[in-house]
Chains A and B, each alone.
Chain A
């Protein structure tokens, strides 16, 4: 595929543009599924989703149904969630516990390590010798690895080790994982929504500081009302306690980091405020990890691990899994991710902030997803096919890190240090460089 048709990457001339067709073209989408989603590392879930022996949960890699299963000895494995006999989907639920999976179609069965337990009426089946020599177990994912409880799988075997794929961005997953010595959990209650637009709009919006005051004025008005009349009834949120989102704020407010393989972070300084559920652990976390890393845990952070994982820690903490269904249709599976062992008060605050801000039944996300749909409609306008949304920060981006990334010993490929007004867009370049490389047929890392 000639990717220069879709990504015009000439930053030395001050130009970086993306063609609208990247979001609408069926052939582009089909190749994305093959090259990006079914051709490399994809996030599946976290280990606490299958915490106990024989627990499993289901996920998707591209079009492929997947099952992550813990066996009786505690080993986690990833399988294609499909019976080798006729192909039927085996596990029907999003999660469960099963020593044995019995296919509901012809009763072939499999243990929690994916091994064939029984082929129904095997001896009476008059099978050939060739069949008897075939493994009837579940097809294991060609690659399956864990990083700090984050589980990834790949349908392609020829990918680099997960640690290489994550690279320096792994240190940002550490900031999530290190918030509790007991590890991470997903708060019970998952929320799934769809939107009628391309998956890359979600990819971009998570990293887009520029839209906040434009897309969310109704939410900002609610925040202002709450600032004026705080009461016990009100859902306390970090936004009321921060000037981060105020356009008139002064000084360094945050910025962006870009990493190899399309991982990016957009971040901002909130400070160590009681409006953040982690506040009760501020002292402990500083002792355990040092003040620099502790302060980072309290920064607003929107992290994307390309192509389908986002961890947003701002008003609360959200884990998102992006699933492309069609060029103009995307499914989002979302959870409140939280450090284990936090107090009831902190957990309540985290949950209330989450519902208000992140839910598709809340007050912020719908104004994003509706904007994605407006983009998808607008992309049909190909009189001028090149989009201009990748230009902010072009003269501010520098190679390597800065004094803030040094606090984590983290070396990004590029960084931008920004006031509240800059709202960098060069971090999107990292997405589309990884995209172009993969679409052209190149491998990761």
Chain B
């Protein structure tokens, strides 16, 4: 008999995800997502609201399907992208983890994040911060990410923000 997702389990999953990105273990990172995952970072519509409908409004990043994240990882690690070579050093702090809703099969989790990025190429340090909203589903006994929404609060992008800095 399976139990609803606990905060400890949620924290464990989010911290593990952060560590996988920070240590560039991207293939393991991809395994955390369902094949039909929605990965979404909305744009800002004005000073105080983000876009809400990805089909009629612009997002900073919007993908439906893990396959698209595989493309992003491929590009990031290909050695063929000037912007990604060498990869910046990043560390994510994930905090304020709350299980908003949970049952045996699914859960909604919210969290806050800060990502410090050191761009070795330009000797430049940036910090990105915002909120996460996850939808987790239990598949074959493991919790997977079926939806990840990233609300980036400081959205004036210094040259580039890739999937490893949010």
Interface residues of A (CB under 8 A from B): 93-95, 187-196, 215, 217-219, 221-222, 225-226, 231, 233-235, 331, 335-336, 344, 347-348, 351-352, 354-355, 359-363, 365-367, 369-371, 373-374
Contact = CB atoms under 8 A, between A and B. Distances in A.
A361 B159 contact: no
Contact of A215 (B78, B82, B122, B159): B82
A374 B82 contact: yes
B159 A347 contact: no
A4 B3 CA distance: 77
Contacts of B64: 233
A231 B159 contact: no
Interface of B: 36, 41-47, 50-51, 54-65, 67-68, 71-72, 74-75, 78, 80-84, 121-122, 124, 155-162, 166
Nearest to A96: B46
**Max chain A Cβ within 10 angstroms of own Cβ: one of B54, B65, B78, B159:** B159
Contacts of B82: 215, 367, 370-371, 374
22 contacts: A93-B47, A94-B47, A187-B56, A187-B58, A188-B51, A189-B51, A192-B155, A193-B157, A193-B159, A194-B157, A194-B158, A195-B159, A219-B81, A222-B74, A234-B67, A351-B59, A355-B60, A359-B60, A360-B157, A366-B84, A367-B83, A369-B159
Given A355-B58, A373-B122, A218 B162 contact: no
Contacts of A195: 159
A374 B119 CA distance: 13
A354 B55 CA distance: 12
Given A193-B157, A233-B64, A188 B81 contact: no
9 tightest A-B CB contacts, nearest first: A233-B65, A189-B58, A189-B43, A366-B160, A366-B83, A193-B157, A218-B81, A218-B80, A189-B51
Contacts of A348: 55-56
Nearest to B65: A233
**Max chain A Cβ within 10 angstroms of own Cβ: one of B47, B51, B57, B83:** B83
Contacts of A344: 55-56
Nearest to A95: B46
A150 to B, nearest CB: 20
B74 A361 contact: no
Contacts of B63: 235
Contacts of A366: 81, 83-84, 159-160, 162
Contacts of A354: 58
B5 to A, nearest CB: 26
Contacts of B159: 193-196, 360, 366, 369-370, 373
B116 to A, nearest CB: 18
A47 B14 CA distance: 45
Given A235-B68, A344-B55, A351-B55, A191 B81 contact: no
Given A222-B71, A234-B68, A370-B83, A361 B60 contact: yes
A190 B67 contact: no
A369 B122 CA distance: 12
A366 B75 CA distance: 12
Contacts of B46: 93-95
A352 B59 CA distance: 9
Contacts of B56: 187-188, 344, 347-348, 351
Contact of A221 (B65, B67, B74): B74
A189 B45 contact: yes
Contacts of B65: 231, 233-234
Nearest to B49: A188
A226 B67 CA distance: 10
A218 B84 CA distance: 10
A66 B161 CA distance: 29
A225 B74 contact: yes
Contact of B58 (A95, A188, A360): A188
B160 to A, nearest CB: 4
A353 to B, nearest CB: 11
Given A93-B46, A194-B158, A355-B60, 15 more contacts: A188-B51, A189-B44, A189-B51, A193-B158, A196-B159, A217-B80, A231-B67, A233-B36, A234-B67, A335-B58, A355-B61, A361-B157, A367-B82, A369-B160, A370-B160
Contacts of A331: 156
Contacts of A190: 43-44, 58
Contacts of B80: 217-218, 221
A396 B131 CA distance: 54
Contacts of B71: 222, 225-226, 363
Contacts of A193: 156-159
Nearest to A352: B62
A188 B45 contact: yes
Nearest to A347: B56
Contact of A360 (B50, B62, B160, B166): B160
A192 B67 CA distance: 27
**Max chain A Cβ within 10 angstroms of own Cβ: one of B36, B45, B58, B81:** B58
Given A194-B158, A218-B81, A221-B75, A336 B67 contact: no
